[in-house]
Amino acid sequence: GLEGFPHYMLKEIYEQPDSLTAAMRGRLSDVDATAVFGGLNLTPQQLRNVNRIVLTACGTSWHAAMVGEYLIEELARIPVEVEYASELRYRNPPVEQGTLLFALTQSGETADTLAALREMKRKGHPSLAICNVVGSTIAHEADGGVYLHAGPEIGVASTKAYTSQVAVMTMLALYFGRLRHLSYEAGQRIITQLRKLPDLVRETLEVNGEVRRIAAKYAHANNFLYLGRQFNFPTALEGALKLKEISYIHAEGYPAAEMKHGPIALVDQHTPSVFLMPQGGVYDKVMSNLEEIKARGGPVIAIAAKGDKEIARLADDVIYVPVVEEFLSPLINIVPLQLLAYHVAVHRGCDVDKPRNLAKSVTVE
Ligand code: M6R
């Protein structure tokens, strides 16, 4: 049941501290400073010989795969490609030996994702699933994989499955990193950070009231831009998809610096831009992108780290979230964007849990 929540989507957003705990349960080893997975079904040799990873998925799961690309390349130094399943199934790309496929899917029933998995399997590549629904078609057909253990996700807009997928991607990056160059100390540090995550997400949820206020202010806009860089470029894509799906407002996610190559022409006083501004290597760069938007009269909503004093001077509205290391920031920053989409949709009187034209799982191609 809804357990007092007005919608499943909100309930599932609030379940994230628990679903993340479940995703990590029994999968972090202090002794070896790595992640452990029971069901990959590959020999240590096979795993050590992986020299390329292909991630395939649709929709929100594809965004989780995009975060995975940044994580695995950064922590494990293995080249990663992210493919839309609907493209991969017909594209016939050259795939080298030593390539491992992961299909990411909440439902395990998405037709295109299933077809892409079958195609890669047919070509002899080990093909694994990262899946939520136990015993689903994709979980069953894959050579092995990792369950999310997020519990049932009822809302059509995926929320807790997304953060669990990103958490699993982080653990896989740690795992492959530790098979290669990542030191014991570095592995330990990542584990320590991961363990703090559920509490940090709980703390992030405290922005709910503030987000509801901001949502009311912007709920009448017809267009939104979502901008972020590096680990948070996929966060921008996912924030935009959430808003589109349930509020029917047109929204685009972009890597912040791509703005000036076209989309900046959309900016006017009625087009809010949501900026992802975590502390880290590209903060100053994102800030100058933000200034370009302000200079053209666009309202700015910033998701920034607590303690950031500079941002309040420039952004129209700021949502402050806990400070985390850059590689974990997608898991924190998506929470206010889920809430923003939710409150905007409620404000507009939309059917949050069952948006028009959409089904929970897309079992036709
Ligand atoms: O069950 P799957 O993860 O394979 O579903 C993929 C997409 O259909 C799904 O993520 C869709 O984009 C959601 N409605 C997003 O909220």
332 CA → ligand 1 middle, Å? 20
Question: Which of 12, 88, 110, 160 for a ligand 1 pocket mutation test, highest count of atoms within 8 Å of Cβ?
Answer: 110
Confidence of residue 222 (pLDDT cuts 50, 70, 90): very high
Query: Which entry of 121, 294, 354, 360 is annotated as an active-site residue?
Result: 360
110-126 pLDDT tens trace: 999 999 999 999 999 99
Mean pLDDT across the stretch 217-240?
97
Q: Kindly tell me if the per-residue pLDDT of 216 is higher than 90.
A: yes
Percent of the chain with pLDDT over 90: 95
Confidence at residue 120, expressed as pLDDT on a 0 to 100 scale: 96
Confidence of residue 44 (pLDDT cuts 50, 70, 90): confident
Count Cβ atoms within 10 A of the Cβ of residue 3 and give its class: 0-12 exposed, 13-18 middle, 19 or more buried: exposed
Predicted-complex ipTM score? 0.99
Our answer on whether the CB atom of 362 is closer than 6 Å to any ligand 1 atom is: yes
Mean pLDDT across the stretch 162-183?
97
Confidence at residue 365, expressed as pLDDT on a 0 to 100 scale: 87
Confidence at residue 82, expressed as pLDDT on a 0 to 100 scale: 98
Q: Kindly tell me if the per-residue pLDDT of 364 is higher than 90.
A: no
Over the chain, what is the mean pLDDT? Answer: 96
Mean pLDDT across the stretch 185-209?
98
Confidence at residue 118, expressed as pLDDT on a 0 to 100 scale: 97
Confidence of residue 39 (pLDDT cuts 50, 70, 90): very high
Confidence of residue 233 (pLDDT cuts 50, 70, 90): very high
CA 138 to ligand 1: nearest atom? 4
Confidence at residue 200, expressed as pLDDT on a 0 to 100 scale: 98
143-168 pLDDT tens trace: 999 999 999 999 999 999 999 999 99
What's the predicted TM-score (pTM) here? 0.97
Confidence at residue 265, expressed as pLDDT on a 0 to 100 scale: 92
Confidence at residue 98, expressed as pLDDT on a 0 to 100 scale: 95
Mean pLDDT across the stretch 258-287?
94
Instruction: Pick the more confident residue, 138 or 44.
Output: 138
Confidence at residue 137, expressed as pLDDT on a 0 to 100 scale: 98
Our answer on whether the CB atom of 59 is closer than 6 Å to any ligand 1 atom is: yes
Confidence at residue 299, expressed as pLDDT on a 0 to 100 scale: 98
Confidence at residue 115, expressed as pLDDT on a 0 to 100 scale: 98
Check if 306 is active-site.
no
Confidence at residue 226, expressed as pLDDT on a 0 to 100 scale: 98
CA 157 to ligand 1: nearest atom? 16
